[in-house]
Amino acid sequence: MSVLRVALLIAAKDLRIERRSRTALHTATLFAVLVLLTVVFARDGGSVSLLTLAPSVLWITIALSSLVALNRAFTLEREHAALEGILLAPVPRSALFLGKWLANLAFVSLVMTITFPLWILFYGVAVTPALFAVAAVALLASIGVTAIGTVFSAMAVRTRHAELLLPVLMLPFLLPPIFFAAQSTVRLLAGRPLDELWGSFRFLLLYDVAFATMAALLFPAVVDE
Amino acid sequence: MPESGNYMIAGYIVVAVVVVGYVVNLWRRGK
Amino acid sequence: MPDAASAERQIRRGRAVTLIALLGLAVLYVMALQFTPPERTMGLVQKLYYVHPPAAYAMQLAFLTTGLCSLLYLLLRDERFDLFAEASAEVGMVMGMIVVITGPIWGRPAWGVWWAWEPRLTFTVLELLVFGGYFALRGAVRDPQERAKFAAVLGMMALVLVPFNHLTVYYFASQHPEPVALRAGKPALPFEMLRTFLTGFGVFTVLYIGLAMQRYGIGVRAAHQEVADA
């Protein structure tokens, strides 16, 4: 069985478990919406316009929600004691990583898909074709972020205070993509032409390639005894 | 700007304190 | 695992090197404060140029070493690399602290504000956060082998992050205009300043080595203790 096929099977299994209980999806989405709302209430309505904050808030929300979403992946395994089973089976570690990553990416994307329209609504973002590009940037950034998150959550779940540790480990790695993603979003919402954004896109692409590679190489070391 | 001499001294003191402090810390731990 | 006797040797040697470095630091101080002319326009505080950048460089050296040792640990599974990675990271944090404390002390008279998101300070903050996480991770894993493995994984990720942090900081800083340009003497430095500047780098290099050696020996000893306690 090819690596890709095994990976897809693993991802499908993960997502199936998710679909049966759905609590993680509901909770992660609720969390994202709450972040949106926290900023609305935390700012002074008189002096700070929501539209000015919109790009920053989008990326803060994505970053924080990703952390929540990533944590559930391995907690799930631990609860179902399924990881030991998978590790015993002759599954290539690369397939396990790929499967986990795809499941995480799907989950994070789903949360973002639900949150995105609410962001547009609450922050008064103009509905233009530029929003497709914003969504594309979100997907691009998520690829690298979830790759790193897959490795880090595999480590964090084996430690005490896992929920606290994962954000502390991940956020420093998220700052560079958040910066470039937010920059792109600001320009897109301002109607700037796409060619001004190539620098940011290239950075995000490079980041994704670098960290997806590193994550794939390092994941086996984390899960193997 | 010329009065920045005080800041200069403060900076050099900070560096000395941190370096010596860490050296002492390592010394004690190395006992 | 290096034996207990070699740990003591490392600590002793490290102390000797550190002592030399401290002497060098004293020489640097005298050179910088007494024998180097002040820069014409920036006032006396500019003299922090002889300690602030060297500390930043030492931090980078330390963190890069941690990254490399992490790679070597993962490839060779030799505990010594993990222990040196940890030692180097700790020294790096101390150097980083020097940077972020002297930064505002320099910034206040130079810029009029205590903090500015200029490249060096921003980069240092980012790196300190990554390595704070490194120690948080080490503290949260009980089993020594798992701890070494996980720390090495993070160390390698951190190594790869360095160029991205540099890139980010470069573009980020261009958005936060420095109140006053901080580049002391980027066009050719007069000889006395260059001499002192390079001495600073030399001193901090030796200081890093001495401190890391000591910390490594202490780490080896602690590892033995852990095995004994188990």
**A86-123 residue pLDDT tens:** 666 777 888 889 988 998 999 999 999 999 999 999 99
Widest Cα–Cα separation across chain A: 61
pLDDT for A82 beyond 70: no
| Mean pLDDT computed over every residue of chain A | 88
Of A175, A13, A6, A158, nearest to A71 by C-alpha is: A158
Question: What proportion of chain A, given as a percentage, has pLDDT over 90?
Answer: 60
pLDDT for B23 beyond 90: yes
Contact A172 C130 (CB under 8 A): yes
CB-nearest partner of B8 from C47, C97, C207: C47
- State how far the Cα of A74 lies from the Cα of A174, in Å rounded to an integer: 20
- State how far the Cα of C132 lies from the Cα of C66, in Å rounded to an integer: 13
Per-residue pLDDT averaged across C87-110, rounded? Answer: 95
The domain in which residue A134 lies consists of 3-223
Tell me which chain A residues have a C-beta less than 8 angstroms from the C-beta of C164.
176, 203, 206-207, 210
- State how far the Cα of A118 lies from the Cα of A127, in Å rounded to an integer: 12
CB C158 within 8 A of CB C130: yes
pTM value surpassing 0.90: yes
Would you call C7 helix, strand, or coil by DSSP? helix
The predicted pLDDT at position C182 comes to: 47
Chain A touched by C143 (CB under 8 Å):
no
* CA nearest to A209 within chain C: C160
CB-nearest partner of B4 from C55, C102, C109: C109
Contact C97 B16 (CB under 8 A): no
The predicted pLDDT at position A73 comes to: 65
Residue A71 — pLDDT band, cuts 50, 70, 90? confident
Tell me which chain C residues have a C-beta less than 8 angstroms from the C-beta of B22.
94, 211
Number of domains present in the structure of chain A? 1
The domain in which residue C183 lies consists of 4-229
Q: Which of C93, C126, C128, C161 to mutate to test the interface with A (most CBs of A within 10 A)?
A: C161
pLDDT for A42 beyond 90: yes
Per-residue pLDDT averaged across A173-190, rounded? Answer: 95
Per-residue pLDDT averaged across C41-68, rounded? Answer: 92
Q: Which of C138, C146, C153, C175 to mutate to test the interface with A (most CBs of A within 10 A)?
A: C153
Residues present in chain A in total: 225
Q: Report which DSSP code applies to C50.
A: G
The predicted pLDDT at position A79 comes to: 64
| Mean pLDDT computed over every residue of chain C | 91
- State how far the Cα of C111 lies from the Cα of C97, in Å rounded to an integer: 20
- State how far the Cα of A32 lies from the Cα of A36, in Å rounded to an integer: 6
Chain A touched by C37 (CB under 8 Å):
no
Amino acid found at A57: V
Residue A188 — pLDDT band, cuts 50, 70, 90? very high
Q: Supply A155's token pair.
A: 């480590």
The predicted pLDDT at position C185 comes to: 45
Work out how many CB contacts closer than 8 A connect B with C: 83
The predicted pLDDT at position C228 comes to: 84
The predicted pLDDT at position C187 comes to: 54
Contact C136 A151 (CB under 8 A): no
Residues A147-169: pLDDT tens digits? 999 999 999 988 888 888 999 99
Contact C110 B4 (CB under 8 A): yes
Contact A176 C168 (CB under 8 A): yes
Q: Supply C6's token pair.
A: 């070699």
Tell me which chain C residues have a C-beta less than 8 angstroms from the C-beta of A165.
136-137, 140
Q: Supply A4's token pair.
A: 């890709």
pLDDT for A83 beyond 80: no
Of C204, C230, C200, C223, nearest to C87 by C-alpha is: C223
Contact B19 C25 (CB under 8 A): yes
Chain B touched by C112 (CB under 8 Å):
no
Chain C touched by A19 (CB under 8 Å):
no
Contact C211 B14 (CB under 8 A): no
Residue A165 Cα, gap to closest chain C Cα (Å): 7
Of A78, A144, A210, A115, nearest to C159 by C-alpha is: A210
The predicted pLDDT at position A6 comes to: 81
- State how far the Cα of A62 lies from the Cα of A39, in Å rounded to an integer: 14
Residue carrying structure tokens 């948080």: C136
Residue C181 — pLDDT band, cuts 50, 70, 90? very low
Chains touching chain B, criterion 3+ CB pairs below 8 Å: C
Number of domains present in the structure of chain C? 1
Residues present in chain C in total: 230
pLDDT for A213 beyond 90: yes
Least confident of A71-85, C6-20, C215-229: A71-85
Tell me which chain B residues have a C-beta less than 8 angstroms from the C-beta of C13.
none
